[in-house]
Amino acid sequence: MTGNLYRGQAGLPFSSTLRVYEPLDAFPQEQRKAIQAAGARTASRAAVENAELLASLGRITRPGGDPFPTGRTDLVRVTAAPAAQPGGTADGDSGTEAEPELLYCPSQLVLRAGLAANALMEGIHGPLAELLIPEEQRDRHQERIDLVKARDGSTRVHTRASTWGIPFSWFSLFMESDHKDVVEAAGRIVTVRVWASITDALERARYAVANLALAAPDLDMLDDLAQLTEWLEQFHVESMIELDYGSVADKVYPDDSPTDIRLGIECLAEGDMTGAAAAYRRLASRWIPIRQLARAS
């Protein structure tokens, strides 16, 4: 079962993620050895995804009903930064390529679970809140969060997640020319991952914020983009950002959403409401059916 769990995900919500990968020296000194060791244990990307999904399903059925992760086996994803181009290195050797630097993205499940629980509790009160996540369990998990913060001294969260569709603001960080990994198995697309440097992503986000602030200051996407920009500014300048479509990729890929977002923003900036409306219609026709699945029985 475990070998096919990640590929199948039958009956689970579509979940997509935005992840930042940083060089090792971006992490506090006391964390580096553990992060490097966890990354070295990674057999494959599919194995990491499968292990994380299996652990989440295990928490749902854990005796005692505590759904929160303990952090004892936090996973770390690893990727390689683009290698230096041929033509010389710092020590004068010409015609050689530098070894690609490894970049790391810790799962940080304890912090992320706490943030998700807080967001859920903001809209739910009374007996239903106690039924979903009893106060005793929330208090116990807050102790875990306090321990993580005391140990690591940093609350930067490297991962953002979304279910039943990808927020339109995320697409503004990417372009159609960015590197893509299309993962396929058994005749279907398991996921698509799109990569960009954090400097490119920030430049694109700031461009979008500047134009929307002038052309459409009441648009909800403007607030989302402003928060994204503030989030990205926390990370090392040599970081990479990854958009992982997850299993929704099989429903929407090939996907022109980054292009439609860019064209829509450009049209708004130029006062072309017809072009902006056309771009939005293309986005809506692609993603609204996915979001409606969240309410399907």
Residue 144 CB coordination number (10 Å):
19
Closest to 51 (Cα-Cα) out of 112, 115, 114, 107: 107
Distance (Å, whole) CA 282 – CA 158: 30
Token pair belonging to 181? 């990994």
pLDDT in single tens digits along all 297 residues of the chain: 344 555 545 557 899 999 999 999 999 898 899 999 999 988 789 889 888 888 777 776 776 667 777 766 678 999 998 754 444 444 445 555 667 899 999 988 887 877 777 776 776 766 766 666 777 777 776 777 677 776 776 678 999 999 999 999 999 999 999 999 999 998 999 999 999 999 999 999 999 999 999 999 999 999 999 999 999 999 999 999 999 999 999 999 999 999 999 999 999 999 999 999 999 999 999 999 999 988 775
**For residue 69, is the peptide bond before it cis, meaning its omega torsion is within 30 degrees of 0?**
no
Distance (Å, whole) CA 41 – CA 48: 10
- pTM score: 0.85
Q: Identify the three-state secondary structure at position 181.
A: strand
Q: Identify the three-state secondary structure at position 200.
A: helix
Distance (Å, whole) CA 121 – CA 123: 5
Residue 92 is predicted with a pLDDT of: 45
Residue 168 is predicted with a pLDDT of: 97
Domain boundaries, given as residue ranges, for the chain: 14-82+101-163, 168-296
